[in-house]
Structure 1
């Protein structure tokens, strides 16, 4: 039986929240609070602590991993209905993750490439990852984090050596506080993407350090979003940044060292392909794994083929252009994060407060899930 290390848990959770947030959050935060967007990146630490403690408490008080956890709190019928809904939610978020990255590539890297070709290519890679097994995938995320995260941070810090203007930060704190609240809600909602921890944590070899692992994920998330957001404001100003489709990439593209080292953004894009594919595959895995447990299939990997067709069609529908994708994100995706990844876990958390502590014995459902994993 394979068990995840704490570092593998950290890598998986970072992959879930950082790559997509890096692409979408700087622009949204700047749209809401302009030159004070970087303050929202710091403020997210407070709700972030509440979110990770909520998930940690649910895991400590629950007998079974998700989706059996739903039956534990909502009853057999209610749990199965919710689990079925969550399959669609996971497919939607996987499709959105794929669509956002495809639009990013088309807008900034390969503008003449058909969307269907990019989606098909990425789905083929994702299908290979799914068939190869979660064990090998979790090990590969270690390599991506160990090699990729320091390089990404170095590239972002290198952008601070270019033309910056600290006057762009002034006046600090002068903003619409309603919009600031919306900005904090927006960036906090992304932390709901760690929802798969309700399944993945049960395969950890040391649950006692789960809170510490998620705390490190929170600080990594805040740092990786704060640095590019602050850099974009210093380089372009709050107003000018509103006109950029992906402000963080525009920041990296201005790096020019002695007019000799340029186009460093290509290294970033190469690393971000790995990160985005990891986030995409985790939600794809969650959809297949939930379906396997709900319908008592022997294994989840054979579900990756039929579900890939659904993801392909949905991704094409979500990704006609970046403007429509942004509207879908604002009106739909954030709502999905808040309702399914934060509100329902909050309800479970409240119910868990009045539940006796779980025993040390492993329930049959959990044991079954662990073996399948």
Structure 2
């Protein structure tokens, strides 16, 4: 497999964590904790840092890439069983990303567009990138972050118009701790998407320095989601933000610059679409690579076509029911992701710590080559 630069891995880690929250997090947190979403973001920093450390610890104490490292540390039977579970959860992220963006596009941009045609336009670029290899995908994602991320954030800040009221973030303290805990779980579940580093990290040029790039990606993620959550609240208030399907899009639609530049929501769509391509391509690759590792295939590319068909069919079935989608995003998906991407790696790290002989030097796959 081709080598990745550390900056490419940084871009991959950030885009996998940030794209979905950019579309849905403001609404979800407003519905759960009203104006206290920014408190939730601050409260989620410690769990996020723990996940960063856990992933790095697993990396430097493993000789194989994920999910092969499950067999390395847990044995063949348990490792392959868990690897099979991870395949389906990675695939779930692929389908979820397709469904969220399709709903975003169909409900705001072209409501009459056939779902199947839209999904083809989303899937084909990622399909082509994966067929050309991970290195090509990583280079495209690097360009996306360098160009699309600043544009997406500028569009958010343009939403701070005359009606902006910072007092809508107050008062502090009128919340239930159970709601805050649920919000922290929600944010941490998106942070856990950084688990892709266990597959991609060993193929970087300087794996020993990955912790710096992992921390940098997480720091940028925290700043970004804080902005994503705060601006809709100060612009609309928590009650209105909670009932809007995509508050970020409404901010772009309502933006009016100097009285003559308006209707810039198409620019927002142009910024979001490459991000959706990125998270789709990354988790699609990890899904196919995991299938290759678990079932001993010669090349992950043979699974790109079958998984594309499965993802497209599932997305067509799920896109029409946006209410069901938000129930899943609020009630089901966070528990799945934090369990599989968060709790399981913590247990794996504990197993590694117990089994590792005292004084044994650590090393990654890339170090052993």
TM-score (norm 2): 0.94
Instruction: Describe the superposition over 1:193-252 as per-residue Cα deviations: whole angstroms up to 9, x where unpaired.
Output: 111110100001111221111111112111111112111111111112111011122122
For 2:177, the equivalent position in structure 1 comes to 177
Q: Tell me, which stretches of 5 or more residues in structure 2 are unaligned?
A: none
Return the alpha-carbon distance in structure 1 between the equivalents of residues 227 and 49 of structure 2: 20
For 2:253, the equivalent position in structure 1 comes to 253
Q: Tell me, which stretches of 5 or more residues in structure 1 are unaligned?
A: 368-373
Partner SS for 2:262: coil
Q: How does 1:81-100 map to 2 (within 5 A)?
A: 81-100=81-100
Q: Tell me the CA shift for residue 56 of structure 1.
A: 0.6
8 Å CA contact 1:162–1:254 kept in 2: the answer is: no
For 1:25, the equivalent position in structure 2 comes to 25
Matched pairs, number: 366
For 1:370, the equivalent position in structure 2 comes to none
- Are 2:329 and 1:329 aligned? yes
For 2:305, the equivalent position in structure 1 comes to 305
For 2:187, the equivalent position in structure 1 comes to 187
Return the alpha-carbon distance in structure 2 between the equivalents of residues 363 and 56 of structure 1: 14
For 1:127, the equivalent position in structure 2 comes to 127
* 1:41 to 1:252, Cα distance in 2 relative to 1, 3 A: farther
Q: Tell me the CA shift for residue 361 of structure 1.
A: 8.6
For 2:244, the equivalent position in structure 1 comes to 244
Q: Tell me the CA shift for residue 306 of structure 1.
A: 1.2
Q: Tell me the CA shift for residue 363 of structure 1.
A: 9.5
Q: Tell me the CA shift for residue 88 of structure 1.
A: 1.6
* 1:166 to 1:71, Cα distance in 2 relative to 1, 3 A: same
Partner SS for 1:208: helix
* 1:363 to 1:51, Cα distance in 2 relative to 1, 3 A: closer
8 Å CA contact 1:83–1:290 kept in 2: the answer is: yes
C-alpha RMSD over aligned residues: 1.8
TM-score (norm 1): 0.93
Return the alpha-carbon distance in structure 2 between the equivalents of residues 304 and 362 of structure 1: 25
For 1:225, the equivalent position in structure 2 comes to 225
Instruction: Describe the superposition over 1:296-335 as per-residue Cα deviations: whole angstroms up to 9, x where unpaired.
Output: 2221112111111111122123222210111222333212
8 Å CA contact 2:8–2:141 kept in 1: the answer is: yes
Partner SS for 2:257: coil
8 Å CA contact 1:162–1:256 kept in 2: the answer is: no
- Are 2:164 and 1:160 aligned? no
Instruction: Describe the superposition over 1:104-159 as per-residue Cα deviations: whole angstroms up to 9, x where unpaired.
Output: 11111111112222112212222112112111110111111111122222222222
Partner SS for 1:159: coil
Q: Tell me the CA shift for residue 166 of structure 1.
A: 2.2
Runs of 4+ residues over 3 Å off in structure 1? 356-364
Return the alpha-carbon distance in structure 2 between the equivalents of residues 195 and 166 of structure 1: 35
8 Å CA contact 2:186–2:330 kept in 1: the answer is: no
8 Å CA contact 2:202–2:365 kept in 1: the answer is: no
Q: Tell me the CA shift for residue 362 of structure 1.
A: 5.4
